[in-house]
Structure 1
């Protein structure tokens, strides 16, 4: 697409035609026509605006002339041609349910029955004769939910509608709660740790059995409307701890991910310019303090 118009006078015919062509291009490549990144000098793609508001911004503020690759409006960046496009691979992996469960199988060594149920869901068609399995459909739908910022309520309504539309023998869950029970098997381990509401301590180790915070004396338990502790001992605050090691293991199991994880060492341009966190003073300080970590670029 011709982009010479971005340097033209904003009162010229070329600029006017360029703005119109840009607007058409942006609308053709957006999932949400009502909210599009504004590339004017003032917004610099940091704000999403109505398309007509963007058009007025381009006339009043002018377009950001450094924005020559329209990556926020559907144009592929050169970087994406070098680094694996994970979104495409995401869809490719989910076309094969067995490939999708392969990452999960190691966590079911001592839970054979649970793994067989998971495998059954992966292979079971969403309805008789369907080309996609129940698990594949759920993951694709949930990916749409996450990518489009749908609320849990709207996602449940979609599941309910789809269940009514599909044949009666369909395996689609009718609520997000049921969907999550299936999808949670794909996830990795986590721990729930009770915490002080004022963030003083975590109730673990020496505080495992404490009923109030040893620092601020606030109760460990949630209170009801009458300011009384809940009978079931519901914690006032919970920390969700995500152990990093299982996540690192999963990342390094994929050869293409490994290449990307080493990019800061093998592919980064090293010219003393700040292009990547690896160029920052903080990163370099870590390298100096712990040279044994610096020696191996796989050390996340």
Structure 2
């Protein structure tokens, strides 16, 4: 025995010699009150005490925490953990001998009052002096704000104030901690003032933009420092399950695939999966000045469903300052949080004390998901949610149109394109866009649709469709998935990519009777290469792939050609008729113009005759001129007979010559009559 003790020593956890006759002592327990009736001392800020004292997980009215001096622990807490327990127990002393209110309880309420009412430091110091003067002598209330924060700082809930560029270009941390100007935009880190009055501004010690960061890893470690909470942090693996229901994120495919991919780190029940959420708000109210402040929350997902989403289990990791929203510089402000998450996953993890098992373990923290609305997702993930394709799932499958009066894009009535072809909503022209029947448009992933379809024994009462599916669909889907991953890699997801007909050919080992073994009807088999061509390296769309027309395709093509020829002949006939009508209208216009010209010429001739007669009367003596005979219109030959296609022609020159001869002969007769009268 002596040699054994010299060589191996005592067992570290064997402190009470129960196997040698020593009786085990009862454990000395300290009781941390979580919810207690405070009566007149209740100010409404008891939740702050619960968060500080109970590791942020209120599960029962009384939570028992073992002292570090327990003898049956398998592994002792380290110094930093002991300091936390000692500070916690020291703060549980009564404020004075005539009350049950503890020192931590009183400080937590007063600090919450200071934050809620925005008290300055001097005002808080005066408040402590007044309250201390009302307490009995020997009370444990701190004298001022400094000693109050010192008491709370012993609980190891630290925070950091990181200076940031006023434009959000960078953070002044790590290698840039001593930099005074932004390395990208050259903006000053501190406020600049003209102290000497010489017109030259100098930097002060007051930063323009401050990012307040609360480290996440110590707060997650705090969850394992109480026994009940440490047990609940293993619920994701050890908790009760429903085989047919999803009640927790650990029941989802993403969680299971991640654990399967990283079994050594994520397979530990105490490895913590976290979710990140952020959104902007105005801390001064909607009616105040424009100000956008963005808190970032980190939520441990290992807790049970009824505890996971409680407000006390949502850690505020940072507060991104305003007044403007961070925009595309969101990733700059998230650098401290990302560094903590990377440190929690890489290497050997974070050494953490488990109060439920009384041992230390390497805790790994991994990012599971994010919870945002679409505008916040645009900043967090970089996806533009205010353009034509805001939906990250549909992307370009949904067409957006611009609202002239609204000043934004809208996709109203575009979701109907994903319905079944015979659905009643497709032909509904009253309930949606007025007088518009939905087009076919884009379709979702064909493989995902086929995988979710089920065989029906009777037609659907609403659509009248049986939606029959081959009984071998399950086997076909499995074969398609395996061939798809062989072609694109194990990480490829066939439900997220377009349907690949070449993979369907490989899954069915060629075409069966000219048709695809899986997904037939979704693509044209005549345009898909054969199995031999695919194995030779040919792809769809290449000229080496010869099309294989079917008899039905040829018949349809002939019918289309005949219909096209008939349509072309009808168009030519209509064009000929329109040309004839146009020519006839032009002839009518020409005839009207010629008649107008003839009337104008006749009027001119009549005016000339009147002038000649007046000249004759003036040149002859009075009473020697007889009355002229009545004017008769000269004879005109009838127009020639013309066909509708022949233009009308008139011999105007002959008409003018005949009229001149009549005028001359009539004038000679008048002269002869005048001379005869003179002789008589």
- Provide TM-score, normalisation by structure 2: 0.25
Q: Considering fraction of residues, name the structure with more strand.
A: 2
Greater RCO (CA < 8 Å, at least 6 residues apart): 1
- Provide TM-score, normalisation by structure 1: 0.49
Structure (1 or 2) with the larger CA radius of gyration:
2
